[in-house]
Amino acid sequence: MNVMVLAKKYSTILDEVYMENACTAVLESDRALASEGANANEIIIPMLKMDGLANYSRNDGYVKGDVALTWQTARFNYERGRMFAVDAMDNEESQKIAFGSLAGQFIKSRAVPELDAFRFAALASCEGISKKTGTLATGEVTAAALREAVNALDTAQVPSEERILFITPMLKGMIDDMDTSKSRAVMAGFEKIVCVPQSRFYTKIKLLDGVSTGEKEGGYKKAADGEDINFMIVHKPAVIQFTKTAVPKIIPPANNPDADSWKYGYRSYGLCQVYENKAAGIYCHAKAAASEADDSDQTNTQ
């Protein structure tokens, strides 16, 4: 099998693994809405502004209104990568499982969890979104907090369609265990409900550089001033999320001048932020600081 066919094969695997395991894949924006910016690291997004209704005159007719199409520049804010080597003989002796397992497991256990964590933290840190902290110890308290969040979105006139609830499995389970008309009603208003592991669900994270002392393993960890997120409601049209590059680079042993090994490189490049005029479409509920355990030094090792 030549390297081009192999690369295509693993690109397909990557896409399938990403869509299956990334909690935030549901927020991916329509690429048709964006255009290339003046620089390689940015895109431009159309924004439409218009006047509201005015009095109609039976003598003069309509009052003239203005409509303006403006463009918001969005800069890519996520760029990460790694390169691995798998000895050619190890790969052959494992019936080529070693290399295939590396590709799939790296994406599942390392790349996707970090991408989710980055995106949730990016949304939680955007200016203008609704934020609240508190301890949600029971299903009843959680349901009440969700109702409060929905009321806040309704008050801000955020459309009820395309609201997605991201919530920890524990809180989702507590609401499910209630099994009451009230609990069913509060969950029925969301287009989609996505359970997010707490290890990906922080208001702030630190991306480890992979070279400094204490950071060589790479990955991410909860920031010292980060909080555990209980749930986040996202109106999908409020989010700008693009994955520009997420492909493997495969170098066969014959093309590797340094060693008789396969090389597998993975690079992820994209952005996640909120439209300037749609911040009201994001509601983040985090754990109260007083109830949090200090785990800011725990690195993600999923």
Q: Which residue's entry shows tokens 């989710």?
A: 116
* Contact present, 14 and 107 (Cβ < 8 Å): yes
At residue 97, the 3 state secondary structure works out as helix
pLDDT at position 293: 43
Please tell me the distance from the alpha carbon of residue 120 to that of residue 300, in angstroms, as a whole number.
15
Residue 215 counted as domain residue? yes
Instruction: Calculate what percentage of the chain has a pLDDT beyond 90.
Output: 46
Measured between its terminal Cα atoms, the distance across the chain in Å is 32
Predicted confidence band of residue 257 (pLDDT cuts 50, 70, 90): confident
pLDDT in tens, 240-254: 998 876 667 777 788
pLDDT at position 100: 63
Residue 95 counted as domain residue? yes
Tell me the pTM.
0.80
Residue 56 counted as domain residue? no
pLDDT at position 39: 57
Predicted confidence band of residue 85 (pLDDT cuts 50, 70, 90): confident
Residue 255's alpha-carbon distances to 82, 141, 250, 260, in angstroms, are 18, 60, 10, 9
pLDDT in tens, 29-60: 887 666 665 556 777 777 777 888 888 888 88
Task: Indicate the helix (H) or strand (E) that contains 20.
Answer: helix 3-21
List, in order, residues 6 or more apart from 178 with CB less than 8 Å away. Answer: 139, 140, 143
Residue 226 counted as domain residue? yes
Residue 282 counted as domain residue? yes
Calculate the average pLDDT of the chain. Answer: 83
Domain of 156, in residue numbers: 3-47+70-291
Q: In the chain, how many domains are there?
A: 1
Please tell me the distance from the alpha carbon of residue 300 to that of residue 113, in angstroms, as a whole number.
9
Residue 216 counted as domain residue? yes
Tokens for 211?
């070279």
Pairwise pLDDT comparison (164 vs 49), residue with the higher score? 164
Instruction: Count Cα neighbours of 120 within 13 Å in the Cβ-side half-sphere.
Output: 40
Does position 4 have pLDDT exceeding 60, yes or no? Answer: no
Residue 300 counted as domain residue? no
Residue 297 counted as domain residue? no
pLDDT at position 294: 46
| β-pair type (220-222, 205-207) | antiparallel
Q: Beta-strand (E) ranges in 59-191?
A: 67-75, 78-87, 130-133, 163-167
* Contact present, 84 and 114 (Cβ < 8 Å): no
For residue 289, the tally of other CB atoms under 10 A from its CB is 10
Please tell me the distance from the alpha carbon of residue 41 to that of residue 270, in angstroms, as a whole number.
9
Sign of dihedral through CA atoms 134, 139, 141, 147? positive
